[in-house]
């Protein structure tokens, strides 16, 4: 018995392994999902950005990501190649940032999420939330000081808004900031902070004890991997046991009389309305992200059903399977329409918070359903990391929750429709 249990390659599993490899072979190969020809006439800049991200994903992310995901480790090794894509910083202009159009930035987000959600969330926290906040609400001097190192991914950023007691109602945050000479004293706690335990720069949202308004402070540390460089009054603890987006680490943060110099306060963050301005832009990113996860699941499902045979035929031959694939594709098509239109309205400056809520709610719901359908079509193999869909399925659970849950988006839309706040 023990001999059988210990059996390695070449001891009877060769045929099984060969068969499984054939099933897996084309799961991540791109398929046509652009049935409304939205990408026809795509500007060169957007097509080029998407191609660069796809090349990075294929060469550097897909070959290694399942291992990192399973071990719940961050893939530091890919950062130099990610920086070398020249795509870090998204729509931010200057300071070495990519300066992409909204469409190009969205397509690169979808492309990265199509490969892996953890790496996409890492880049979203780095570029959209942290660099985005500094770019929108910081002074010119602060942008010069922080953004170039962040574009090169030599300096990692985190965005600390959510608290143990305040998630959906983050506007009610309790972390405090008190002015003391030329610095501020910060007390409180944050939760779920992406990159929180490994960031050089942490944007901390705190309530000014003097005027009660929410302000933003950037805490800096030289070497996050060296415990000696931890600022006095700051502690970070990685959250273990997460079942989605396992290859990006979130952290609990604690501040006990943490001192941050006045020169690190973002001068244009003067109330929670300014926080909301940042979140209105990042919510659009979550919609492209959901689209990327949906495309990955659809591609895997089509490839798998072509190769997997049951009852003597590829399961793609069966009407119920085709109906499922057709439903997935029609939802993907609607998601793409939403995302492309979002990019147009963002460029025109007419994109509103309600639109962002509609897009986030719709794309996240649909991508979540597509991931479930794909998992179903892969049968038992849909539960295995090697077959990719399970990772996208659990990653989509995260997308469904962050950047505002489905219920919160519903309340925001409902308030606009009825004129009544039901919060
Ligand atoms: C993996 C991950 C990464 C994250 N990264 C970051 C980060 O980098 N920085 C950061 O600041 N935050 C981050 N977050 C926090 C995230 O934004 C919150 O998890 C999210 O806002 C929801 O808050 P909550 O988890 O506290 O849930 P809660 O707000 O407690 O919600 C629980 C449930 O109650 C529902 N609910 C709440 N209020 C109402 C209401 N009025 N009516 C009806 N239903 C309601 C919600 O829809 C939800 O279903 C992250 C979260 C996760 C899971």
pLDDT score for 6: 58
Q: Is residue 325 over pLDDT 80?
A: yes
Q: Is the CB of 167 under 6 A from ligand 1?
A: yes
How confident is the model at residue 381, as a pLDDT? 98
Close Cβ partners of 43 (under 8 Å, ≥ 6 residues apart): 101, 103, 104
Are β-strands 250-261 and 214-220 bridged in parallel, bridged antiparallel, or unpaired? unpaired
Q: What is the average pLDDT value for the chain, to the nearest integer?
A: 95
pLDDT at 127: 96
What pLDDT is recorded for position 140?
97
pLDDT digits (tens, 9 = 90+) for 107-141: 999 999 999 999 999 999 999 999 999 999 999 99
Extract the tokens encoding 153: 């991914």
What would the pLDDT profile of 70-99 be if each residue is shown by its tens digit?
A: 999 999 999 999 999 999 999 999 999 999
Q: Say what the pLDDT of residue 359 is.
A: 96
Res. 11: pLDDT tops 80: no
- Measured CA to CA, the distance from residue 4 to residue 7 in angstroms comes to 5
pLDDT value, residue 342: 97
Coil, strand, or helix at residue 162? coil
pTM: 0.95
Query: Is there an atom of ligand 1 within 6 Å of 159 CB?
Result: yes
Q: Average pLDDT, stretch 65-71?
A: 97
Q: If you count DSSP H runs as helices and E runs as strands, how many of each does the chain have, helices first?
A: 14, 9
Q: Express each pLDDT in 243-283 by its tens digit.
A: 999 999 999 999 999 999 999 999 999 999 999 999 988 88
pLDDT of 10 > 70? The answer is no
Main-chain phi, psi angles of 192, to 5 degrees: 70, 30
**Crossing angle of the two packed helices 272-307 and 319-348, in degrees rounded to 10:** 150
The dihedral built from the CA positions of residue 47, 343, 390 and 60, taken in this order, carries a sign that is positive
Q: Which numeric CATH code is attached to 157-270?
A: 2.40.110.10
Residue 29 confidence (pLDDT): 93
Question: Of 1.10.10.10, 3.40.50.970, 3.40.50.11060, 1.10.540.10, which CATH number belongs to 30-151?
Answer: 1.10.540.10
User: Under a CB-based contact definition with an 8 Å cutoff, are residues 369 and 331 in contact?
Assistant: yes
In this prediction, residue 225 carries a pLDDT of 79
Closest CA to 111 of 176, 46, 166: 46
Q: Is 183 in the pocket of ligand 1 (CB under 6 A)?
A: no
**Cross-strand bridge partners of residue 310:** 313
Residue 201 · residue 153 · CB < 8 Å: no
Identify the helix (H) or strand (E) that includes residue 151: helix 140-151
Beta carbon of 275 within 6 Å of any ligand 1 atom: no
Q: Name which of 234, 142, 217 is nearest 179 in CA terms.
A: 217
Q: For residues 390 and 366, is the Cβ–Cβ distance under 8 A?
A: no
- Cβ–Cβ under 8 Å, residues 284 and 351: yes
* Token pair belonging to 157: 């950023």
Q: Where are the beta strands (DSSP E) in 246-353?
A: 250-261, 309-310, 313-314
Give the model confidence (pLDDT) of 341-358 as tens digits: 999 999 999 999 999 999
Query: Does residue 64 contact residue 385 with C-beta atoms inside 8 Å?
Result: no
Q: Are 97 and 157 in contact (CB under 8 A)?
A: no
Q: Where in the chain is the domain with CATH 2.40.110.10?
A: 157-270
Which residue did the predictor score with more confidence, 279 or 225? 279
Q: For 274-304, give one letter per residue: b (16+ CB within 10 A) or e.
A: bbebbbbbbbbbbbbbbbbbbbbbbbbbbbb
Q: What's 276-418's CATH class? A: mainly alpha
Residue 1 pLDDT grade (very low, low, confident, very high; cuts 50, 70, 90) = very low
**Pocket of ligand 1, candidates 117, 192, 400: which has the most ligand atoms within 8 Å of its Cβ, to mutate?**
192
pLDDT attached to residue 313 = 98
Atom of ligand 1 nearest to the CA of 170: 21
256 three-class SS: strand
In the chain, where does the domain assigned CATH 1.10.540.10 lie? 30-151
Give the residue among 126, 132, 128 at the shortest CA–CA distance from 152. Answer: 126
* Minimal-distance CA residue to ligand 1 atom 25: 167
């Amino acid at each position: 018995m023990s001999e059988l249990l210990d059996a390695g390659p070449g001891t009877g599993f060769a045929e099984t392994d060969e068969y499984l490899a054939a099933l897996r072979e084309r799961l991540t190969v791109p398929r046509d999902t652009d049935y409304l020809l939205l990408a026809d006439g795509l500007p060169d800049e957007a097509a080029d950005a998407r191609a660069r991200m796809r090349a990075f994903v294929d060469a550097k992310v897909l070959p290694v990501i399942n291992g990192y995901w399973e071990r719940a480790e961050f893939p530091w090794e890919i950062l130099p190649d990610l920086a070398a894509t020249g795509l870090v910083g998204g729509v931010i202009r200057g300071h070495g940032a990519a300066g992409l159009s909204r469409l190009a930035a969205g397509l690169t987000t979808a492309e990265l999420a199509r490969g892996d959600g953890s790496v996409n969330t890492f880049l979203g926290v780095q570029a959209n939330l942290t660099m985005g906040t500094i770019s929108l609400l910081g002074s010119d001097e602060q942008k010069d000081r922080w953004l170039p190192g962040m574009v090169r991914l030599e300096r990692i950023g985190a965005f600390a808004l959510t608290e143990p007691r305040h998630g959906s109602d983050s506007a009610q945050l309790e972390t405090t900031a008190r002015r003391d000479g030329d610095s501020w004293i910060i007390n409180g706690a944050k939760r779920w902070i992406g990159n929180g335990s490994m960031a050089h720069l942490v944007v901390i949202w705190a309530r000014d004890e003097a005027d009660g308004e929410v302000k933003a402070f950037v805490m800096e540390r030289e070497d996050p991997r060296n415990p000696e460089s931890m600022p006095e009054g700051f502690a970070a603890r990685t959250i273990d046991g997460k079942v989605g987006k396992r290859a990006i680490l979130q952290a609990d943060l604690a501040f006990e009389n943490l001192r941050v110099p006045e020169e690190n306060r973002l001068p244009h963050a003067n109330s929670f309305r300014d926080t909301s301005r940042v979140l209105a832009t990042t919510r659009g990113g979550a919609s492209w992200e959901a689209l990327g996860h949906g495309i990955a699941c659809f591609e895997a499902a089509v490839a798998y059903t072509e190769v997997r045979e049951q009852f003597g035929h590829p399961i793609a031959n069966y009407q119920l399977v085709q109906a499922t694939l057709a439903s997935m594709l029609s939802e993907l098509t609607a998601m793409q329409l939403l995302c492309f239109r979002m990019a147009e309205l963002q460029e025109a400056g007419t994109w509103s918070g309600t639109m962002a809520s509609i897009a986030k709610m719709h794309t996240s719901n649909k991508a979540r359903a597509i991931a479930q359908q794909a998992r179903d079509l892969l049968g038992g193999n849909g539960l295995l990391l090697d077959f990719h869909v399970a990772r996208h399925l659990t990653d989509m659970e995260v997308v469904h929750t962050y950047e505002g849950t489905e219920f919160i988006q519903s309340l925001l839309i409902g308030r606009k429709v009825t004129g009544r706040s039901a919060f």
